[in-house]
């Protein structure tokens, strides 16, 4: 017997989500149709509201519900130090370490020639523009320690150093290939403290 269409559609949408295999998608689909309509409305509403209301900060490209994100808007942050991260979730991880008082720049990706992702596909131009517009003393590159993360760090260092700014790389006490996102606070604080010049 084939799945009835509304069920098949729901299953198909869930299965597209990252980390959701066919079994989990099926379990979630049955769970959703089992819930009261009010609860399903809340879920659907939250999905749509998140998509419609969340935009990117016009300064650092962090997720934000206003033109400028909370971090860029704060007076106690030092805008002359910029920490470059791959994704908004990496920024969140750095913030959890409580040791960092500078600001951020979110690339929204890393260089990955095999996947066709070059410098124009991530927010590198925006970073260069920022350097022209604000006084920046140091750029701390906090991309992950996997191949793409390292290659992106080297590329950025070559691009930025001639501009007269100090470029440093966080010390990856993180396991090789370890994601910033999953590092604990102590490890991150130490990685930041032990950053080295590139
Ligand atoms: Zn911002």
pLDDT tens string 10-67: 999 999 999 999 999 999 999 999 999 999 999 999 999 999 999 999 999 999 999 9
User: In whole angstroms, what is the distance from residue 123 CA to residue 95 CA?
Assistant: 21
**Same structural domain, 124 and 95:** yes
What is the Å distance from ligand 1's center to 143 Cα? 18
pTM (2 d.p.): 0.82
Q: Among residues 30, 126, 106, which one has the least CA distance to residue 61?
A: 106
User: In whole angstroms, what is the distance from residue 133 CA to residue 77 CA?
Assistant: 17
Residue 175 pLDDT > 70, yes or no? no
Task: Write the CA distances from 113 to 77, 106, 110, 192, integer angstroms.
Answer: 35, 19, 10, 28
**Same structural domain, 140 and 172:** yes
**Same structural domain, 10 and 90:** no
Instruction: Give the range of the structural domain holding residue 19, as residue numbers without chain letter.
Output: 5-53
Count how many domains the chain has. Answer: 2
- pLDDT for 82 equals 97
What is the Å distance from ligand 1's center to 61 Cα? 6
What is the Å distance from ligand 1's center to 70 Cα? 7
**Same structural domain, 89 and 162:** yes
Residue 3 pLDDT > 70, yes or no? yes
Task: Write the CA distances from 137 to 61, 90, 173, 175, 177, integer angstroms.
Answer: 20, 22, 24, 29, 28
- pLDDT for 194 equals 82
| 88-100 average pLDDT score | 89
**Neighbouring residues of the ion ligand 1, judged by CB less than 5 Å:** 57, 59-60, 62, 69, 72
- pLDDT for 126 equals 97
Mean pLDDT of the chain: 92
- By the 10 Å C-beta count (0-12 exposed, 13-18 middle, 19+ buried), 184 is classed as exposed
**Same structural domain, 126 and 76:** yes
Six token digits for residue 101: 């008082």
Q: In what order do the strands lie in the sheet with 166-169?
A: 102-106, 78-85, 138-141, 166-169, 196-197
Residue reference for tokens 């017997």:
1
**Same structural domain, 110 and 156:** yes
For residue 1, name the pLDDT band (cuts at 50, 70, 90). confident
**Same structural domain, 92 and 122:** yes
- pLDDT for 174 equals 56
| pLDDT tens column, 14-23 | 999 999 999 9
3-state secondary structure of 14: helix
Residue 90 pLDDT > 60, yes or no? yes
List the CATH number of the domain containing 86.
3.40.1360.10
- pLDDT for 177 equals 52
Residue reference for tokens 């400028």:
68
What is the Å distance from ligand 1's center to 62 Cα? 5
Residue ranges of E strands in 145-189: 166-169
């Amino acid at each position: 017997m084939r799945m009835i269409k509304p069920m098949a559609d729901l299953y198909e949408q869930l299965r597209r989500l990252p980390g959701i295999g066919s079994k989990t998608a099926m379990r979630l689909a049955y769970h959703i149709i089992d819930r009261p309509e009010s609860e399903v409305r809340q879920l659907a509403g939250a999905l749509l509201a998140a998509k419609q209301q969340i935009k990117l900060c016009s300064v650092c490209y962090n997720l934000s519900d206003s033109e400028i994100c909370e971090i860029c808007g704060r007076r106690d942050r030092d805008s002359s130090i910029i920490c470059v991260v791959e994704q908004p979730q990496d920024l969140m991880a750095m913030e959890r370490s409580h040791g960092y008082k500078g600001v951020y720049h979110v690339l929204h990706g890393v260089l990955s020639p095999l996947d066709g992702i070059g410098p124009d596909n991530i927010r590198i131009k925006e970073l260069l523009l920022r350097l022209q517009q604000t006084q920046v003393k140091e750029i701390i590159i906090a991309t992950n320690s996997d191949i793409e993360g390292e290659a992106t760090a080297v590329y950025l260092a070559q691009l930025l150093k001639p501009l007269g700014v100090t470029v440093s790389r966080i010390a990856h006490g993180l396991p090789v290939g370890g994601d910033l996102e999953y590092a604990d606070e102590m490890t991150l604080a130490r990685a930041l403290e032990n950053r080295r010049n590139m």
